[in-house]
Amino acid sequence: DIVMTQSPDSLAVSLGERATINCKSSQSVLYNSNNKNYLAWYQQKPGQPPKLLIYWASTRESGVPDRFSGSGSGTDFTLTISSLQAEDVATYYCQQYYNTPYTFGQGTKLEIK
Amino acid sequence: EVQLVESGGGLVKPGGSLRLSCEASGFTFSTYTMNWVRQAPGKGLEWVSVISSGSTYIHYADSVKGRFTISRDNAKNSLYLQMNSLRAEDTAVYYCARDRSGDDIPDYWGQGTLVTVSS
């Protein structure tokens, strides 16, 4: 199984500042035949289901604000929120869909400093 | 509007069984791959199972293999999860989630149904 490890576990950032969350996979999730990274990012607020933010490591889902961006390739990935807003307080998860079992990172809880 | 509504959760004793349902609307259910994902109280997300549109592709997490069975009825726009030999560690909110068309990426999720396994 591919193990996904996020860092940090929790993060406190001031409003308007940048937030960066990292995700590392135990093996590459880059599929060479199509040069795509099988990596997604989700946002989950308390009491709500997860919401898809980013897929293919860097493609923003429709309707997601452009302050959210994803980067990275192979085994190392980053979710960046360029200017933190109050509504971004949530737990963020990365997920690999390269092969089954599809695995999630343990989550990063983002709070306002 | 895409809607996924789970039902069937509840309190069950260890060793017992439960069948979850997910009713889909707002899209052509029969053409989409579907998943079950669970979340134990206060914990992270755990993918449970996936089934392709025609039920030809089915996979399970090792933690539920041999105990859980995923199925679907495209005529009823419904997804199911039959859970047998339930354990305390199966206690979680169970979400059904639709994959993006042509991709293995859950893009729409239901609100979830809580399963509690306790004596």
Which chain A residues contact residue B35 at CB under 8 A?
Answer: 102
B46 lies within 8 A of chain A by CB: yes
Residue B1 has pLDDT above 90, yes or no: yes
- pLDDT, position B103: 84
Quick one: DSSP state of residue B32?
S
Question: Binning pLDDT at 50, 70 and 90, where does residue B102 land?
Answer: confident
pLDDT in tens, A80-98: 999 999 999 999 999 999 9
- pLDDT, position B101: 83
pLDDT in tens, B38-83: 999 999 999 999 999 999 999 999 999 999 999 999 999 999 999 9
- Subunit contact B59:A97, Cβ cutoff 8 A: no
Q: Which residues contact A87 (CB under 8 A, 6 or more apart)?
A: none
Name the one residue in this structure whose structure tokens are 């089934």: B51
Residue B104 has pLDDT above 90, yes or no: no
Cβ atoms of B109 and A50 closer than 8 Å: yes
Q: A101: nearest CA in chain B?
A: B61
Q: Which residues contact A44 (CB under 8 A, 6 or more apart)?
A: A50, A51, A90, A91, A92, A93, A107, B45
- pLDDT, position B95: 98
Mean residue pLDDT across chain B: 97
pLDDT in tens, A15-56: 999 999 999 999 999 999 999 999 999 999 999 999 999 999
Any bridge partners for residue A10, and if so which?
A109
Which chain A residues contact residue B50 at CB under 8 A?
Answer: 100, 102
Integer Cα distance of B56 and B62 in angstroms:
19
